[in-house]
Structures are given as structure tokens and as C-alpha cells.
Amino acid sequence: MRCLRDERTGLRRRIRTIGQRLAVACGQKHGRVRGYADQGERWQKQRHLSKLQARLAVVEQQIEQGYPSIAVGRRWLARSRHHLAEAGLTEADWRKRWEASRLFLTADGESGAPHGNYTITVDPADGSLTLVLPEPLRYLANAPRGRYRLACTVTFHHRHAEWLDRVSANRAVRYDIVHDAARDRWYLDASWSTNTSVVPTPEEIRASGAKLLAVDLNADHLAAIVLDPHGNPVGEPRTIPLELTGSTATRDGRLRAAITRLIAIARDNGCPAIVIENLGFADARATGRETMGRGRRGKAFRRTVAGIPTARFRERLRSMAHHQGLAVIAVDPAYTSMWGGTYWKSPLQQQTKTTVTRHHGAAVAIGRRGLGHRIRRRPGVTAPDRRIGRRRATGQAVSLPRPRGTTSPPRTAGTPHAGGKTRPCRSDQLVLFPDLEDRSRGHQALAGLVREELANIGQLP
């Protein structure tokens, strides 16, 4: 039912967008809505609109009846029965796969039962598998209490320690026995529910003094960077390739490999949480042909947007990070790429030799938003260069130099060079760094303040 509701929402968006453009004459524009280029395109859109309305009527009828169309054994396999040559299958091969996909045995576990499941039980000592037979098949039992013991043993390689902890404590474990017709093998899948954890708030993370790993998701790579509790970048920016081509299983495997590298980076840097964008291109995918340009360039852009696995990446990361004890924080994606490229690309490039892109700047913006800080940098922030290390941020209080011990009276800092990277205009500097056009006046004001301070503590004659 959830898929039907999502499809209904997408159809309504597409129908509304096309209807708005059809209401405007060809070649004209009404407000922000532009009409179609010519009568030929307009006629094609009218035909497409009628098809969408027919599909919407069928979907709404299925939702109203409460009976969604479900094909046990995958709908693609059911449709390929009529196109065996295109699918590269014979009728016997298709029948074998169809029966195998519809043949499965599932048993939900229960806490307190032997090894977490009474119907399908796996002994952790020797890996033996026993099944409870139904009453008509009890005569086939070869184990006590009407059970059947398989001749083969079972071994779990992935997350074996977690499974062993659960079955040793007699906690619920679900088992699924499935048959892979392509490999002609039987598999036993084990699954269980995890405990619900409380995600720390940004205030708690800042109070703990821990770092955060910020990630920017793109079509072909992940841009990641570590931030300290104050929102400053720490270490080198990271770029993780993400190639999402091939079959569904191949794409999912590459996505999980990239997420594994993210989790490893977070654990190596002591980050308790990973910050991502709460992206969703449902509206863009539904109305992309009407709002994302035309021609070859628009088609390439729509394909790029449709290829970004936003929902799958978010769910995979949440699941895998939970098992590693990490929290995932999703923030608003508004203006992260724009402001990150404007305010953070150049500062990141100054402190590293690796190539920095605007996506790394966007990762900094995402992390700062996850920490509750503002994204944009203040003008005149402290520069990393040693020669201008005394430069202070605009609007920050001036600390007057104080004598220490028997040293000579402190000297005022020199006027910085006229570079405009750390302050947009010269008048933004405080009195400690007077304007270059009136240097004498600024030094006189500073000297008066210093003399008054030294006179109060008895250092002047």
C-alpha cells in the first residue's frame, strides 16, 4: 500500500505540472510557468496527460479497494514469461526460476525458545539444523519430538558473533530457507530486530567535545571531512568514489562498500555521529521532464539526478552505522553547496595540498549545520598564515597587551598587508589594526590606550 500511495503522489505532481503548462499558450510565459514551444509538443503532452490520468484512476481504485497487485516471485519474472527470447531464458529455465522464487520456508523466532526459534533451530555447537514437521509428515521425523535433522550443517560468516550471542541467550531469531535456482543452492538467512537507541542531540555532541564526520552525497562520489565541536575542519578532506552502474546487486554492493569506508573514517577519528543531508528527489523525478530543461543537456541532468541514491544511501547508512554504535544526523540541504563553495572551498585549499572541490565545502556546511552553527564564515576570521596569525575576527573584543614579569613593555602588532582574503574591506578591522590610509591616527589612538593601561599598573615613569 505504501508503494501505491507513493505512486499516486507522483502521478498527481506530474498531472498538476503538465496541466499548469498546458494552461499557458505556446511560446508564452505566465509568471513562472512557461508554455510549450510549439503545437506539436503541446499535442504530445496532452496525450501523455490523458495516460497519466488513466493510470491515476487505476491506482486510486486499488487503494480504495485495499488490494494491491502483488506478484509472489517478482513481477519482472512474471512478465518475462511472454518475452523469453529477450530475457535469454527457455521455458524450462523460466519455470525453474519461477517455482524457486515462490518456494520458501520462514519461521519467526520467539524469546525463551531453544536457541531463539522452536520451529527452525540451529545448534551453535555443531551447526546442525532441525525442523518441526507438520502432523501429516511426522512419519518422516528422524529426531525426537517430531523433528527432522538435515544432513548438512549451517555456518554464518557475516555477523557470526552477534548471532552467537543471541542464540546462546535464547533470544528471538528469524530464519528463512530459500532456493537459488541460478546456482542451484539452498540458503538459510538469519535476521533479528535491534534495540532502539536514542540519538544524541547536537547540543549533547558539542558538550561532549566530540568530532563529527560530515558527508556530501554526489552522483559519482562522497565528499567527507571531519569537524571539531566548534565547526572547524580537521585533517584532510576525503573523496570516496561511488560508481553506481551495473545490476541492482552490484550497485548495492558498491554503495555498502563506500558506507563501510565512511564508518571506518568516523571510527578512526573518534566521531560518534555522521551528518548527512536529508535529500529527496521525489518531486524532481516526477516532474523532471517539465522543470529540468530540454534536449540532450536536460536529459543528462535528469539522468544524473535520478541516479543519486538518496533514500537507499540514507537507509543503508542508518542501518550500518547503528550496528557500529554511530548516530546519523540528517540536516536541511538548503544552500549547502552554494555557501560551502563560496565560504569554505578557498580556506580548505589553503590548509591542504589535496585538490578541494566545492563538494568538500558543502560537507563543511553540512557538518556545521548539524552542530547548530551558522554556515557562512565571519569576515576577518583568523588566517592560518603565521605572518597574519594576530589578525582577529570582525566584531570580536580587543584584548590589550599586558606586561608579564620583568620583560620590556609590549609592542603593538604591525599593520597587516592589504590582502583581501580575510577581510572584505579595510574598515572592517578593529583599532588594533588601523586603516592603511590613516595609519598615524590609528597608532596614536592605540598608544593612548596602552599608556593608560600601563599607567594604571605603575609601569610608566
124-166 pLDDT tens trace:
988 899 999 988 888 988 988 889 999 888 888 888 888 999 9
Q: Is 192 left (phi over 0), alpha (psi -120 to 50) or beta?
A: beta
Confidence check: pLDDT of 436 > 80: no
Over residues 367-395, mean pLDDT: 64
Pairing outcome for strands 33-34 and 29-30: antiparallel
**Average of pLDDT values for 292-305?**
68
- For residue 460, what pLDDT band results from cuts at 50, 70 and 90? very low
Give whole-number Cα distances, 198 to 55, 162, 201, 264, 329, in Å: 42, 21, 9, 22, 12
Cβ atoms 224, 276 nearer than 8 A: no
Supply the pLDDT for residue 374.
Answer: 85
| 67 or 382: which leads in pLDDT | 67
The rounded mean pLDDT for the chain is 77
pLDDT band at residue 321 under the 50/70/90 scheme: confident
E-assigned strands of 70-138? 104-107, 120-122, 128-132
pLDDT digits (tens, 9 = 90+) for 62-111: 888 877 777 666 777 778 888 888 888 888 888 888 887 777 788 988 88
Place of cell 532441525: 130
- Under a CB-based contact definition with an 8 Å cutoff, are residues 317 and 328 in contact? yes
Residue 271 has pLDDT above 70, yes or no: yes
Do residues 182 and 100 lie in contact, with contact meaning Cβ atoms separated by under 8 Å? no
Q: Which amino acid is at 397?
A: A
When pLDDT is averaged across residues 327-332 and rounded to a whole number, the result is: 86
SS3 of residue 339 by DSSP: helix
Report the distance separating Cα 226 and Cα 152, nearest Å: 48
Q: What is the pLDDT of residue 408?
A: 41
Residue type (1 letter), 68: P
Tell me the per-residue pLDDT of 185-218, one tens digit each, with 9 for 90 and over: 888 999 988 776 676 776 777 778 888 999 998 8
**Short-list 400, 373, 393, CA closest to 459:** 400
Per the structure block, which three cell numbers stand in for 423? 577581510
For residues 198 and 142, is the Cβ–Cβ distance under 8 A? no
pLDDT of residue 329: 87
Q: What is the mean pLDDT of residues 12-34?
A: 87
Statement: residue 424 has pLDDT above 60: no
Which residue has 488490494 as its cell numbers? 67
Give the residue, 80 or 289, on which the prediction is more confident. Answer: 80
Helix (H) or strand (E) holding 213: strand 212-217
* Cα–Cα distance, 18 to 23 (Å, whole number): 9
Q: For residues 382-388, give the mean pLDDT.
A: 52
Q: What is the bridge-based pairing of β-strands 147-153 and 128-132?
A: antiparallel
Indicate whether 391 pLDDT > 70: no
pLDDT score of 394 = 44
pTM over 0.85: no
Residue 325 has pLDDT above 50, yes or no: yes
